[in-house]
Structure 1
Amino acid sequence: MTISLAQFITENGLEPFVLSATQTEGFITAMAAAPNLIDPSEWLAFMWGGEEEAPFNNHEQLEAYATIIIDMWNQQRDALLSNEWQWPDVCALSDAEIVNQATREYCEGMLQGWTLARDDWETLMPEDSQENALLGGVLLSISLLFDPESALATMDELGAAELAQFEEIFNGMPVMLCGLTMRANQMVEQQ
């Protein structure tokens, strides 16, 4: 029986020391979408805040955690490249808060992960390229879903509140993110 990341974190008392399971999954999704594969050994420490010392009791615990992370990365990468990625079941829209807390955490993790691959994205899809519009659309959508209240307020100030169609953004994210990942992969293979 495989253990879920959330269960592993809880059973080992790691909640105060590592990103939440939802943030972690968002981070891993960003790493899986990256145009150039980044070895997990280069980003695994970000799961516990980039500290040099891992918060695990022993090497076996670290190894079990890393295995869960790498398995999750493989699943996310496969789903993105096969156009099958979907929001995790815990992520949803909310009548009261536009999106639920899990969606915010997932998007926060994705934005954190994007920062690590930013140079690769900017090199592959420079500002003046057609592909940059796709990249910008995905990043804007993730940002809007991470903090929808601020986005609404800003758009309202600009007289553009009608642009904030969060349901469409949320529902369109799988197509956009898969499309971006597949296009980046195609471009990297052509280089």
Structure 2
Amino acid sequence: MSISLSQFITENGLEPKLLSATQTEGFVTAMAAAPHLIDPSEWLAFMWGGEEEAPFGSHEQLEQYANIIVEMWNEQRGALLSNEWQWPEACALSESEIVNDATREYCEGMLQGWTLCRDDWETLMPEDSQENALLGGVLLSISLLFDPESALAVMEEQGAAELAQFEEVFNGMPVMLCGLTMRAMQMVEAQ
């Protein structure tokens, strides 16, 4: 029986030492969507703030954590490339706060992950390319969902503030993110 990431973090008292399970899942999703595969050994330390020393009590604990992350990456990559990725169950819209905390955390993790593979994206889909609009749309959507209050304030200044737009962005994210990942894979394979 495999243990969930949140269960692993809680059972080992690692809450203050690691990204939350939701942030981690967002980060791993960004890495799974990346155009070029990046070995998890190159980015795993970001889960504990990039510190040289991992916060685990034993090598076995680190290995168990790494296995959970790699399994999550495999699941996310498969879902993205088969056009089946969906928001985690905990992520949702909120009438009072536009999006719930889980959605914010997930988007925060995704944005952190994107920064690691940003150069790959910018090289593959440069600013003047047609694909850059797709990349920009995905990044803008993630940013809007991470900080909807600021986005709403800017939209109000421009006379276009409607909460329905956030629902469209949230509901459109699976199609956009899968499309971006699949297009990037096609472009990498064609190189």
- Do both proteins adopt the same fold according to a TM-score greater than 0.5, normalized to the shorter chain? yes
* Equivalent pair of 1:152/1:161 in contact (CA under 8 Å): yes
How far did residue 32 of structure 1 move? Answer: 0.1
TM-score (norm 1): 0.98
Residues 126-185 of structure 1: per-residue CA shift (max 9 Å, x gap)? 000000000000000000000000100011112232486011100000000000000000
TM-score (norm 2): 0.98
Residues 108-129 of structure 1: per-residue CA shift (max 9 Å, x gap)? 0000000000000000000000
Q: Please tell me whether residue 4 in structure 1 is matched to residue 4 in structure 2.
A: yes
* Equivalent pair of 1:34/1:121 in contact (CA under 8 Å): yes
The total of aligned residue pairs comes to 191
Which residue matches 1:100?
Answer: 100
Q: Distance in 2 between matches of 1:162 and 1:6?
A: 34
Q: Distance in 1 between matches of 2:190 and 2:100?
A: 39
Q: Please tell me whether residue 180 in structure 1 is matched to residue 176 in structure 2.
A: no
Which residue matches 1:58?
Answer: 58
Which residue matches 2:79?
Answer: 79
Task: Name which of structure 1's ranges 3-12 and 152-161 shifts more when overlaid on structure 2.
Answer: 152-161
* Equivalent pair of 2:98/2:163 in contact (CA under 8 Å): no
Q: Distance in 2 between matches of 1:100 and 1:163?
A: 14
* Equivalent pair of 1:56/1:62 in contact (CA under 8 Å): yes
- SS in structure 1 of the partner of residue 151 of structure 2: helix
Q: Distance in 1 between matches of 2:161 and 2:116?
A: 31
Which residue matches 2:132?
Answer: 132
Residues 46-94 of structure 1: per-residue CA shift (max 9 Å, x gap)? 0000000100001000000000000000000000000000000000011
Superposed CA RMSD: 0.9
Which residue matches 2:32?
Answer: 32
Which residue matches 1:118?
Answer: 118
Residues 19-63 of structure 1: per-residue CA shift (max 9 Å, x gap)? 000000000000000000000000000000000010000100000
Letter in 2 for 1:123: T
* Equivalent pair of 1:152/1:164 in contact (CA under 8 Å): no
Q: Please tell me whether residue 154 in structure 1 is matched to residue 154 in structure 2.
A: yes
* Equivalent pair of 1:26/1:105 in contact (CA under 8 Å): yes
* Equivalent pair of 1:155/1:163 in contact (CA under 8 Å): no
Which residue matches 1:47?
Answer: 47
Letter in 2 for 1:182: M
Q: Distance in 2 between matches of 1:49 and 1:92?
A: 27
Residues 82-107 of structure 1: per-residue CA shift (max 9 Å, x gap)? 00000000000111111000000000
For structure 2, which runs of at least 5 residues remain unmatched after alignment?
none
For structure 1, which runs of at least 5 residues remain unmatched after alignment?
none
